[in-house]
Chains A and B, each alone.
Chain A
Amino acid sequence: GESVGLHLPTLSVQEGDNSIINCAYSNSASDYFIWYKQESGKGPQFIIDIRSNMDKRQGQRVTVLLNKTVKHLSLQIAATQPGDSAVYFCAENSGGSNYKLTFGKGTLLTVNP
Chain B
Amino acid sequence: DADVTQTPRNRITKTGKRIMLECSQTKGHDRMYWYRQDPGLGLRLIYYSFDVKDINKGEISDGYSVSRQAQAKFSLSLESAIPNQTALYFCATSAGEGEQYFGPGTRLTVT
Which residues of A line the B interface, CB within 8 A? Answer: 32, 34, 36, 41-46, 49, 89, 91, 97-101, 103-106
Does B34 interact with chain A (Cβ within 8 Å)?
no
Partner of A46, one of B90, B96, B101: B101
Decide: A104 and B103 in contact? CB cutoff 8 A. Answer: no
8 residue pairs bridging A and B, Cβ less than 8 Å apart: A34-B100, A41-B105, A42-B105, A43-B102, A46-B101, A98-B50, A101-B45, A105-B40
B-side contacts of A41, CB under 8 Å: 104-105
B20 to chain A, nearest CB (A): 19
A-side contacts of B90, CB under 8 Å: 43-44
Partner of A104, one of B42, B101, B102, B105: B42
A91 to chain B, nearest CB (A): 8
* Range of interface residues on B (Cβ < 8 Å): 20 to 34
Contact with A along B28-53 (1 / 0, CB 8 A): 00010000000011111100101000
Decide: A105 and B41 in contact? CB cutoff 8 A. Answer: yes
B-side contacts of A103, CB under 8 Å: 42-44
Task: Known A99-B94, A99-B97; judge A89-B105 contact (CB<8 A).
Answer: no
Decide: A43 and B104 in contact? CB cutoff 8 A. Answer: yes
Decide: A105 and B98 in contact? CB cutoff 8 A. Answer: no
Task: Known A99-B94, A99-B97, A100-B48; judge A44-B42 contact (CB<8 A).
Answer: no
CB-nearest residue of chain A relative to B9? Answer: A41
B-side contacts of A101, CB under 8 Å: 45, 100
Cα-based distance from A100 to B56 in the complex (angstroms): 11
A-side contacts of B101, CB under 8 Å: 46
